[in-house]
Chain A
């Protein structure tokens, strides 16, 4: 059947939540009604990355992207665009950057403006639930090539040559890890995909799997061949139902096509993958805790060495890589390590996916070559800070990362540079913070998370992060004391150096980095009992200025009756009664209420 139009719905978790599927139904009805159903194909795609504009619908040819759609928009699009060929301009996403550009040139070109999609190369392009879509874009060709043309040693050499480093956070050279596991004797080895993405606000792994599950399977199978493993396990958190569903479908399809299972592609190589669900503990992203969890035990890390490459799952040599790392493997095998290693910086090769969030115009997934600066990501790709606000900091690396101030905007994102600046790459969280945020409060937020997620095993992390959190609570409540900053530093440095696993070793980072870069805010909180961003409730007071015309709107809005004043004369706020809820500010039309 020949189609002249293909309409693709973004079927990522976020778009689905915003009624993407309902739109699809309306569209089908509408096409039926106009009797043009035969010439229009409807497909689903993984996350396009334009999460703040969902639900998204793409019409091809023409690469027209519609966003923020409602059911009532559909008949107009069908009538005007599909039937008459005139895109409905008021609904088209007009921004001229990566989102639409990478569509137009996908397949051949290497670069899409500032963004470059390797790990996410198929996301948003293929139907993730259809293996044929993946196959059509060179899917499983890398596996076929490896099985038929390369020895395991050559595969590992290629990965090493590519310079690929672990995308889970630590940045350990992937090829070395493969080599260590391959060097272990014995027939029983395991390959594990770490999809236990737990950073608050991060969704790189989820979107990568939802958009292109097969690339992960292919990457794992290639590794299985390289290190001599017959069994792979994907450890994914249970709160990713769509990703899990797509993985199951992908595994079944791959088995059917003999791309998983016994004697794959008749090359004498057996490899199969099973899925294990995690219960959503952040610490289970730590490899030894993850292994314990797969084994049915409580997810608690154990001291290393021995590393999993020597003694991992069920005591067998085990290779663990993160989702994004796996997604790079087929590309490296097909396009070659030499090409791959031209991307990025000297020590950090390839691209990195970030979940861009916070006070930035375009939030969503971005994949950029290593070495792209924070400024390029935030301003060129992210579109800058909304509301004419000033950028205050960029938090990278998730809850265990650090906050970098504006001066660091030209820091290139790569493992070394971010570490040198006092933050980490982490798994790819990137949160933009504007001047309306209080840095002490931000540090407290992240520490609360890591402190709650501590497994409780080692003393520094279990007890120490709690004490740090208590000190931060005190400071933000206006009860900070002299010496608190020094205590935070003393505890923080001790916890970093003494904790058992990466969670504890990085948990103090948000605090230490904000002390380093925003020490004056801490000092203001402690000495002047002042929160310059007006976030810490205990430290702010509301008052009325001379703009007040005595309209009485604020008096009505105040839930606790803290505002008094006669009509047409300046009102007053009783600080004793005021609960600092902000209702008065929201109500006042004359900017007469100030918060300080």
Chain B
């Protein structure tokens, strides 16, 4: 137990744990000091100065986010002077921020807007010059709009501390300070992994996903196309938050119903193709394991991880499974198997994916995923974009009656469901691999080793007397640490799962905006989203991918068997080293 100290806040005495900052102490005492740049999972920046308080005996205001509370301290959080200063600080941010709330992506969901309201800013006193920057739309996934940036630095810290990518940083000084990729290069050409975590932590709309909703509405109204949509596991676990529903409510069937009301002809489930991925990836692993192939094998479902791999780990390309992601597998099956079944022209199928992810947008434009000259996934929208479309189309999502997915690509096992949580792919793969290898059914189906939010999870699985060393990393920072370990000791692991976003896809960069009822990186929130998926797994009578009868049928009627020639053509891909400006592999030279 921590020692207790006595402090007073606004002349009221409190006992709090020793070692807290003033802000943390105040949080425990029922105060919520206004804040902006602070984020509990990121380092303390102390930059916005919104959280200033007065401490008796200290001349200046202090930032409560970083100032330690000490015994006997007298803190004031709401004096007249402080209120005016705080108000003025937020006004200064507004003075240099576009006055376009009505037309802004984050209208109604913007921390700055809320803060301005809470500070009671009804009139501007200090307006002057405003910064002007071009919107950077060079990335297929993330739009950067520095005009809306208020320089809280959360994105920079996220990208640096949690993701270890350092795609963005500060440039220039004073009023000209801007968050930008190195050399002010276009975002799309930088080392950005497209994970979209910057969007999740941004209080304004300085980072948003590349928005495809208008294009999609147009296609939905174009009757010459058959529109097919798939939704990823993690979407159903979080979309309710965008409608102010409680955390962790599984909206699987409501989402399917809403998608039909939006006008989609077929509503499929990415969980089906997650099962398919397991068949291919599990088999690939066993093949490598048994025939001395390249190990450790690393999963390939996560597009932000694949981007990171190609930039930072070109020496490890051969370690990564050649399996396409469940999204791309689904789209390929839709434009081949499904098209044949339904006697549709693949060119007239519009394949849409709803993903918790921004990097999927980038994945969908990769030429490797084209099939006979056609894009397999025509458009990717995020959970956020779908939520907006549902609202925009006037669909009563909260009260809608749930509907099932369409067949045949809508049926899935519990293994496919848990893909959306860190460790889920590993767990699902082992459920199948165990049986493929031993011929016996895995009884202890829930693997404790792969669950939970520890940054790097490790475990040893015994298969037929052999020990399988596995590791699971989520968050690219953890992935970097794990990869460094593998570089040092290539024989340490056999099988590795990597997800770029903290928590896995449930914490994806395309999930509903935080700050109504959730916070990015918050383990309580992530835990509830995860539980929505684990609960679904438990409820499912089929919990192993290879037991999914529709998967079995797909192999019987079309693919023949895992790793068949047809599978390789449609479901596997390859990787190549990428050298964004500033990175040259193995040379330590900066290319400018």
Residue positions of A touching B, CB distance < 8 A: 281, 283, 298, 300, 302-303, 305, 451-460, 462-467, 470, 487, 490-491, 494, 496-500, 505
Contact = CB atoms under 8 A, between A and B. Distances in A.
Given A459-B93, A463-B95, A505-B60, 16 more contacts: A283-B173, A451-B174, A452-B173, A454-B173, A455-B174, A457-B45, A459-B48, A459-B89, A463-B96, A464-B88, A464-B89, A466-B96, A466-B128, A491-B126, A497-B52, A500-B46
A455 B93 CA distance: 16
Contacts of A464: 88-89, 92, 126
B48 A458 contact: yes
B93 A466 contact: no
B558 interface: no
B356 to A, nearest CB: 32
Contacts of B172: 456
Contacts of A499: 49, 60
A465 B88 contact: no
Interface in B36-74: 44-50, 52, 59-61, 63, 66-68
A305 B177 CA distance: 25
A467 B95 contact: yes
A462 B177 contact: yes
B117 interface: no
B85 A456 contact: no
A528 B201 CA distance: 50
Majority secondary structure, B binding face: loop
Interface of B: 44-50, 52, 59-61, 63, 66-68, 84-85, 88-89, 92-93, 95-96, 125-126, 128-129, 150-151, 153, 169-170, 172-177
Contact of A457 (B47, B67, B88, B95): B47
A344 to B, nearest CB: 24
B139 to A, nearest CB: 23
A298 B177 CA distance: 12
A7 B45 CA distance: 56
Contacts of A498: 49, 52, 60-61, 85, 89
7 contacts: A303-B66, A460-B49, A494-B88, A497-B61, A499-B60, A500-B63, A505-B60
Nearest to A305: B68
Contact of B175 (A460, A463, A487): A463
Contacts of B169: 298
B129 A470 contact: yes
A303 B89 contact: no
A158 to B, nearest CB: 30
A281 B67 CA distance: 27
A527 to B, nearest CB: 20
Contacts of A491: 88, 126
Contact of B173 (A453, A463, A467): A453
Contacts of B67: 303, 305
A459 B175 contact: no
A496 B175 CA distance: 17
Nearest to A474: B128
Contact of B174 (A298, A456, A467, A470): A456
Contacts of A456: 151, 170, 172-177
B47 A466 contact: no
Interface centre among B60, B67, B88 (most CB of A within 10 A): B88
Contacts of B47: 457-459, 500
Interface centre among A300, A457, A491 (most CB of B within 10 A): A457
A462 B170 contact: no
Contact of B88 (A454, A458, A490, A496): A490
Contacts of A494: 84-85, 88-89
A255 to B, nearest CB: 30
A499 B88 CA distance: 13
B84 A454 contact: no
A466 B151 CA distance: 15
A281 to B, nearest CB: 7
Contact of A463 (B61, B63, B68, B92): B92
Nearest to B174: A454
A491 B128 CA distance: 14
